[in-house]
Structure 1
Amino acid sequence: MKKDLKKQLEQKKVRPTAIRLLVLDTLQRQKTAVGLDDLEEALEKADRITLYRTLKTFEEMKLVHRIEDGAGATKFALCGEGCECAPKDIHVHFYCNNCEETFCLPKSEVPEVPLPEKFLPVETKVLVKGICQNCAS
């Protein structure tokens, strides 16, 4: 497993340090997007600043994407295979008002928004808020 993690980091041109391998392993085991607090709790011995820098590096190298969950928290989720965080890779996110988890919905693409002439988009985000299937049961 460690070789797979190391290979993943190297493919994105990220040096595979011990903390980066731990963070990547932790992110891969998550079913929802996670915040810095979640990572800090999962990796008790890791320094908060180191975790933040690791997430920032992962984001810059397109290994994770950042999600503003609509409740004031920033969360992170691993990018899918072949994702370059380009417009074609953008997908909808779902925030559960009950459990406060944020889910990636990679099969739900963000629709192209027609803009007036000379308007240049920099970022597009779609967040749906509601009750997730676990909480609805």
Structure 2
Amino acid sequence: MVHTHNNNFEGLLEKHHLKKTGPRLKVLSMLSAKNVATSQPDLESVMSDIDRVTLYRILSAFEEKGIIHKVFDLNGTANYAMCSSGCGEDHHHDEHLHFNCTNCKNVYCLDELNLPPIKLPKGFKPEGFTLYATGLCPKCSKTA
């Protein structure tokens, strides 16, 4: 099963004209395995073989290419999640609800809840929209 994922990840890197390196494949594997957005410090803590600068460069390249998108948690820390297949280098399509759990502090991308079309006043040129909600995730609401 891991081999299949690696083939998919290699294809994704190839599609975006990025070299297929071990650290890049490992970051893709880690991010895709999680159901929550993940911060760089959290990734660093489980990937001791990838130094901070390399990880930062990988995350930046992935975000620039439309492979991952950045979402901020309640503390203002950047977290990263896999993009949908519709995202690309020129535009992210992450206009879905980002849910911040006030108890466990996890950030969830609720892809099924898209933002409605927003018409801005004349002269405004949006580069992206983000919608946040806060509260308790299903796991935390069960224990509350």
- TM (normalized to structure 1)? 0.91
Query: Could you say what the CA RMSD is over the residues aligned between the two structures, in angstroms?
Result: 1.6
Paired residues of 1:14 and 1:61 also in contact (CA < 8 A): no
Aligned mate of 1:134, from 126, 133, 139: 139
Unmatched tracts of structure 2, length 5 or more: none
Classify 1:42/1:88 alpha carbon distance in 2 versus 1 (closer, same or farther; 3 Å): closer
Aligned mate of 1:37, from 38, 41, 62: 41
Whole-angstrom CA distance in 1 between matches of 2:126 and 2:7: 38
SS in 2 for 1:108: strand
Whole-angstrom CA distance in 2 between matches of 1:96 and 1:7: 34
SS in 2 for 1:92: strand
Classify 1:30/1:7 alpha carbon distance in 2 versus 1 (closer, same or farther; 3 Å): same
Q: Which residue number corresponds to residue 58 of structure 1?
A: 62
Q: Which residue number corresponds to residue 3 of structure 1?
A: 7
Whole-angstrom CA distance in 2 between matches of 1:19 and 1:118: 42
Whole-angstrom CA distance in 2 between matches of 1:4 and 1:40: 23
Deviations 1:30-80 (A, max 9, x none): 110000011101111210111011000000010000101232110000112
Whole-angstrom CA distance in 1 between matches of 2:18 and 2:114: 28
Whole-angstrom CA distance in 2 between matches of 1:88 and 1:18: 27
Paired residues of 1:95 and 1:130 also in contact (CA < 8 A): yes
Unmatched tracts of structure 1, length 5 or more: none
Deviations 1:116-135 (A, max 9, x none): 22222222110111110000
Identity of aligned residues (%): 34
Q: Which residue number corresponds to residue 113 of structure 1?
A: 118
Deviation at 1:87, TM superposition (A): 6.6
| 1:101 and 2:112 aligned | no
Q: Which has the larger displacement, 81-90 or 126-135?
A: 81-90
| 1:90 and 2:102 aligned | no
SS in 2 for 1:15: coil
Aligned mate of 2:77, from 58, 68, 73: 73
Deviation at 1:10, TM superposition (A): 0.8
Whole-angstrom CA distance in 1 between matches of 2:57 and 2:92: 25
